[in-house]
């Protein structure tokens, strides 16, 4: 299934994309794409619905973040061998973990704001894994069974804030609008292999990132298992699993976002995001 949330900021309705690409309203069935709805029983209930019986929503309406009530927005750094190389950093022995503030989350096509005093705002297309049930001390072998589905994430980063303003990376990762997710939450049964997905990102029509989840250093199952040794994961937690090469910081010369730019990014089978960039 391809699940999404449609409507104004803070008033999104849960929805499903039917086989013809029509957006169907789920608000008469569930309150939101959150909590127990993301578990196996909740998703099985939605699979049992006949989309043709559900009201049609405006196909031109705003698409919001594909999951609601996110408790944790967890990111994995330096998780692609080729991205670590362009960053001039060694591959880590364990997953590098940092957080983005949930207030950074926005819709996949919402306007991205360059924060005040920014000099190095950057892009990162990433595979997002959304947790579907309580997860603690899970084995790598069982980890993917705890995933509700997958989505596209743009892990926007202000590199000067991140690397040169002291403290942890969260400073450069948590600016408002720095976490577009969606357009869809694609349930795990429709993603045969999360380690074999092509992904790309373009700025103003130029393709900077053109990679694949094949080059992940730690695969999704390893990441989830590792995280669950240190904290419990809850339904709706979003894990952004790292980016392939081609970020602005890795260009020669380095290239960063500015007001007036347009980003387009996507992952095979998970949809496309398009964002206009403005001054914050």
First to last CA, the chain: 35
Q: For position 145, which CATH number holds?
A: 3.90.850.10
> Residue 228 sits in which domain range?
68-279
Assess if residue 44 is contained within a domain: no
Query: In sequence order, what are the beta bridge partners of 267?
Result: 199, 271
* Structure tokens belonging to residue 171: 């400073």
* Structure tokens belonging to residue 203: 């700025």
* Structure tokens belonging to residue 24: 């169907």
For the chain, count helices (H), then strands (E).
6, 18
Assess if residue 40 is contained within a domain: no
- The closest of 184, 239, 183, 190 to 216, measured between CA atoms, is 239
Percent of the chain with pLDDT over 70: 100
Assess if residue 61 is contained within a domain: no
Assess if residue 76 is contained within a domain: yes
Assess contact for 228 and 102: CB atoms under 8 A: no
What was the pLDDT predicted at 161?
Answer: 86
Assess if residue 20 is contained within a domain: no
Which pLDDT band, with edges at 50, 70 and 90, does 272 fall under? very high
Assess if residue 203 is contained within a domain: yes
What was the pLDDT predicted at 273?
Answer: 98
β 147-154/73-77 pair status: unpaired
Mean per-residue pLDDT, 251-256: 95
Assess if residue 53 is contained within a domain: no
Residues 207-223 as b or e (16 or more Cβ within 10 Å = b): ebbebbbebbbbbbbbb
Assess if residue 80 is contained within a domain: yes
Q: Which of 89-103, 114-128, 195-209 has the lowest mean pLDDT?
A: 89-103
- pLDDT tens for residues 69-98? 999 999 999 899 877 777 777 889 999 999
Total of domains in the chain:
1
Mean per-residue pLDDT, 189-215: 97
Q: Provide the 3-class DSSP secondary structure of residue 224.
A: helix
Q: Provide the 3-class DSSP secondary structure of residue 144.
A: helix
* Structure tokens belonging to residue 88: 């001039």
Which pLDDT band, with edges at 50, 70 and 90, does 167 fall under? confident
Element (H, E) at 164: helix 159-164
């Amino acid at each position: 299934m391809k699940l999404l949330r449609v409507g104004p900021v803070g008033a999104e309705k849960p929805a499903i994309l039917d086989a013809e690409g029509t957006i169907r309203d789920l608000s008469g069935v569930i309150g939101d794409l959150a909590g127990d709805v993301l578990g196996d029983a909740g998703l099985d209930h939605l699979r049992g619905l006949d989309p043709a019986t559900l009201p049609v929503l405006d196909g031109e309406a705003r698409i919001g973040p594909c999951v609601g009530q996110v408790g944790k927005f967890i990111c994995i750094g330096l998780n692609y061998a080729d991205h670590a190389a362009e960053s001039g950093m060694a591959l880590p022995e364990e997953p590098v973990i940092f957080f983005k503030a949930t207030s950074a989350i926005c819709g996949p096509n919402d306007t991205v704001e360059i924060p005040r005093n920014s000099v190095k705002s950057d892009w990162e297309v990433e595979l997002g894994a959304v947790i579907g049930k309580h997860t603690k001390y899970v084995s790598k072998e069982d980890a993917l069974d705890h995933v509700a589905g997958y989505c596209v994430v743009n892990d926007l980063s202000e590199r000067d804030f991140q690397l040169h303003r002291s403290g942890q990376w969260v400073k450069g990762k948590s600016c408002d609008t720095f976490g577009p997710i969606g357009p869809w939450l694609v349930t795990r049964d429709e993603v045969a292999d999360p380690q074999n997905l092509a992904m790309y990102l373009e700025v103003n029509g130029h393709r900077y990132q053109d990679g694949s989840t094949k080059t992940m250093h730690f695969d999704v199952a390893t990441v989830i298992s590792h995280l669950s040794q240190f904290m419990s994961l809850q339904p709706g937690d979003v894990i952004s699993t790292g980016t392939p090469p081609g970020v602005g910081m890795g260009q020669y010369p380095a290239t960063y976002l500015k007001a007036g730019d347009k980003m387009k990014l996507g992952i095979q089978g998970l949809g496309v995001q398009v964002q206009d960039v403005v001054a914050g």
